[in-house]
């Protein structure tokens, strides 16, 4: 919790979820009527996003918990077979196994009891048995994030679901729709200011932007594509986005003027927004964002950038 990277990624998640810093929200809002209740819209979207995030969190951890439980049960079954094999070979004495435990259909609690007994009895010889403790906490503590969460952890878990092909199709349809929905806002944030400023045809500009984005995106589908995804995700989609949001906050609060902005809102809404927004926009938000930016830059300076790579020559080590 004290690492700046954690808070930077948390802030980035909020920016991505609400579309902040991309220009999409500003582009869409430009189509609203002048007297549109943007205060209600902002509060409603924030609450919907919050409850959606909570729901997504429950689903993600439920699936990861299910996956960890399945893998743990498989581990217990395989290691129980190894123990039975050692009993038959005489490597382990039958006398140390409690009589009420049936290793052919052992529970997690009984297996851990047997494991602890064997570990105490064998001591120095225990490591040669290559038995696994099969703790479900070890599976839950294995960090899975980014593409690994969507394309490895979830897909592996869904193979154990009832009617797994159906859930796999639904899951990847959700990913496709999620990607398309995100790109609508991103592309609109690029197209709208260009069309409004230079009066070019929107259809042609949209096609050009999409083709350009498609060509750039081809680097992510190479054999080395996952490394590019990691670098873009860590260094081009987090820190720059934080800087953009800080500049937007400064532009509204100090360059344009927070008092003038509050008067504009009063004119649009028909009532004065709560002073809470005034102090948040002018003092709290810039201070928190700048502190996060400074801490992130210092942290990145102390720990040089890098990423995990798969080395073919050491794949068997």
Residue numbers in the known binding site for Na(+) are 49, 178, 182
Token pair recorded at residue 6: 């954690």
Residues 6+ apart with CB under 8 A from 227: 307, 309
Token pair recorded at residue 211: 């083709």
Query: How many Å apart are CA 233 and CA 19, to the nearest integer?
Result: 16
Q: Residue with structure tokens 């070890």? A: 138
Are the C-beta atoms of residues 228 and 220 closer than 8 Å to each other?
yes
Residue 211: count other Cβ atoms within 10 Å of its Cβ.
10
Q: What SS3 class is residue 100?
A: coil
Are the C-beta atoms of residues 154 and 56 closer than 8 Å to each other?
no
Going by C-alpha positions, the residue among 190, 265, 284, 305 that lies closest to residue 38 is 265
Binding residues: 49, 178, 182
Token pair recorded at residue 134: 């099969």
Are the C-beta atoms of residues 189 and 98 closer than 8 Å to each other?
no
List, as one string, the DSSP characters of 232-299.
Answer: HHHHTSSHHHHHHHHHHHHIIIIIIIHHHHHHHHHHHHSSPPPHHHHHIIIIIHHHHHHHHHHHHHHH
């Amino acid at each position: 919790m004290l690492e700046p990277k954690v808070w930077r990624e948390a802030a980035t998640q909020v920016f991505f979820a609400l579309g902040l810093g991309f220009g999409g929200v500003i582009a869409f809002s430009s189509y609203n009527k002048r007297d549109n209740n943007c205060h209600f819209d902002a509060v409603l979207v924030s609450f919907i996003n919050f409850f959606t995030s909570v729901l997504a969190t429950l689903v993600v951890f439920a699936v990861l918990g299910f996956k960890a439980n399945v893998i743990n049960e498989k581990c217990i079954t395989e290691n129980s077979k190894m123990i039975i094999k050692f009993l038959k070979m005489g490597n382990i004495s039958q006398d140390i196994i409690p009589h009420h435990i049936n290793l052919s259909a052992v529970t997690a609690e009984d297996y851990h009891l047997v494991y602890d007994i064997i570990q105490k009895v064998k001591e120095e010889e225990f490591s040669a048995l290559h038995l696994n403790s099969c703790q479900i906490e070890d599976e839950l503590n294995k960090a899975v994030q980014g593409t690994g969460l969507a394309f490895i952890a979830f897909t592996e878990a869904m193979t154990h679901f009832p009617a797994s092909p159906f859930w796999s199709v639904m899951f990847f349809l959700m990913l496709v729709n999620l990607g398309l929905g995100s790109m609508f806002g991103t592309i609109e944030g690029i197209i709208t200011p260009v069309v409004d400023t230079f009066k070019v045809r929107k259809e042609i500009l949209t096609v050009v932007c999409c083709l350009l984005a498609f060509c750039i995106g081809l680097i992510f589908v190479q054999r080395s594509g996952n490394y590019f995804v990691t670098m873009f995700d860590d260094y081009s989609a987090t820190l720059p986005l934080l800087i953009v949001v800080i500049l937007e906050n400064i532009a509204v609060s100090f360059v344009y003027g927070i008092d003038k902005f509050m008067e504009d809102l009063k004119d649009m809404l028909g009532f004065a927004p709560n002073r809470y927004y005034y102090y948040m926009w002018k003092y709290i938000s810039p201070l928190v964002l700048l502190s996060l930016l400074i801490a992130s830059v210092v942290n990145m300076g102390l720990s040089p950038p890098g990423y995990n790579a798969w080395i073919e020559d050491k794949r068997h080590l």
